Structure 1
Amino acid sequence: MQHLKELFMVTIQNYIRVKSLEEAYQLNQKKGSCIIGGMLWTKMQNRTILTAIDLCDLKLDQIEETENEIIIGSMVSLRQLELHRGLNNYTQNSVRDAVKDIVGVQFRNLATVGGSIWGRFGFSDVLTVFLAMDTYVELYQGGRIPLREFVGQKPDQDILVRLVIKKTSGCFSYASVRNQSTDFPVIACAASVVGGEYRLSVGARPGRAMLLLDEEGLLSEGLTEDSIENFAMWAEKHIPTGSNHRAGAKYRSRLIRVLCQRLLNKLREEQKWR
């Protein structure tokens, strides 16, 4: 039957719940090994996994908040992000806004932060929103590196342990456009001003998210109607887009301009209350 051609089969030969990150790292160096989380994207392919490595016993499913940082374990679910009061207070609910339309609650209860960030998926709302913040990834071997640096790297055999958000004073906003409510985004945008630096993160271009800074100083005098419009037009021209079955490149570029204006106006309103 025609629909059977769309079925996928993942075969796992060995399943190991590791007791330490060192054990996980050593196992992950072997060919055919795979770190597993929610298994939501991994299962959508025909694949044989020789050793499935589960980190569920390593207590990486917690969000810790200190005076200066928010530390998110790689096994934290997207639903936990959506509901965490401290995280959403700091980000003015932009994290909640980024994940709330990802499929459904059942999906978000399974999908992990680690999978969303490590995969560097072009469609990732999660990667897009965190890229606009002072975010670092903590790798088992590689240590802490800025997310903006990590996003451009090729996947290797290291292990993503945590996501660390510096609680630098700032304002944040997020928006996306979807053809239907639970579909992948046609375009995803996050805007922020962090420590006086204006940033625009754009995902679903359809390439992986990229960060645009105000290199021309268009917002150096603050957010006004004119400066916002000028920056949005500049962003439209300087962020590369492509076409796929969801949308064309020109449409995506136009959406970048529109969403950029909306998000910066939202930041402008937020700044008035500070």
Structure 2
Amino acid sequence: MFQIKNYAIPNTIEEAYQLLNEKRANTLLGGCGFLKMGKKTIPTAIDLSHLGLDKIKEDENAIEIGAMTSFRAVEVSSILNDHFDGILPRAVKEILGVQFRNVVTVGATVYSRYGFSDFITALLALDAYVILYKGGKIPLAAFLAQGCQKDILIKIVILKKNTRAAFHAMRNSQGDYAILNVAVSKENNEFKIAVGARPQRAMIAREASKLLGEGQLSEAMIEEVSILAAKELTFGSNMRGTKEYRQILCKALVKRGIKEVLS
């Protein structure tokens, strides 16, 4: 269980940023789902709930998801269900139970770059960006690849395009973390194949994605692309599955995702 020495509820993001950087161990509070599982002493815990970061907004060009938006809000959002074949609500709806999804936040999940995250994998298949208070606008893939910085994630921005998308995951049991998850998207002739829970953080299989966009969309091509995706990415073993099993799953789930976006 974690302990908090001081509890702060800032009224501006600048105030929150100043508090965060006063001490190295000062911590932003999201849903606290994973803080509860560890043992940590926090000099100052910073609650962002008064900053209006829990909204999902849409304009003609983009959709914005505030950092304090819960997974449950993502799941039931009419905006997100109406775009990208509902890939983001589909990605979060199997995560543990409703009670858990009511507290887990988008910002904490993305900023922590969790390798097991279904949400990050689905988001990576879209044209998504993170908006940081000091770091500004960064493509999600670049943000995931860089090291952790002490900043505040304000929101996720997803550009609205005519994108077909599919999400699939394999679990040992309902409510468990995924052994492997896969998201596939298609915009015109451009494809993205994202694979997560490898158990490393999600990555785009760039060679496989490129091949799929350039080739004839036949059964043979889909088979070749799924094999390539499983070869170009690395996999590891943990309590949920071996790296060999994950590689086999990758081929099967990528093939399933491609067929879905083409159907």
TM-score > 0.5 by shorter chain:
yes
Give the Cα separation in 1 of the matches to 2:175 and 2:260: 24
Q: Is the 8 A contact 2:124 2:141 kept in 1?
A: yes
Matched with 2:19 is: 27
Segments of 5+ residues of structure 1 without an aligned counterpart are 1-8, 270-274
Matched with 1:160 is: 153
* TM-score calculated relative to the size of structure 2: 0.96
Give 1:182-261 correspondences, 5 Å limit. Answer: 182-213=175-206, 214=208, 217-261=211-255
Give 1:1-274 correspondences, 5 Å limit. Answer: 9-31=1-23, 32-213=25-206, 214=208, 217-269=211-263
Identity of aligned residues (%): 41
Q: Is the 8 A contact 1:219 1:231 kept in 2?
A: no
Give the Cα separation in 1 of the matches to 2:92 and 2:216: 29
Q: Is the 8 A contact 1:186 1:252 kept in 2?
A: yes
Alignment CA distance shift 1:195-1:75 (3 Å):
farther
RMSD after superposition: 1.2
Amino acid at match of 1:227: M
Q: Is the 8 A contact 2:71 2:105 kept in 1?
A: yes
Q: Which 4+ runs in 1 deviate beyond 4 A?
A: none
Amino acid at match of 2:138: I
Aligned length: 261
Q: CA deviation at 1:196?
A: 3.0
Amino acid at match of 1:157: K
* TM-score calculated relative to the size of structure 1: 0.93
Q: CA deviation at 1:227?
A: 1.4
Amino acid at match of 1:79: R
Segments of 5+ residues of structure 2 without an aligned counterpart are none
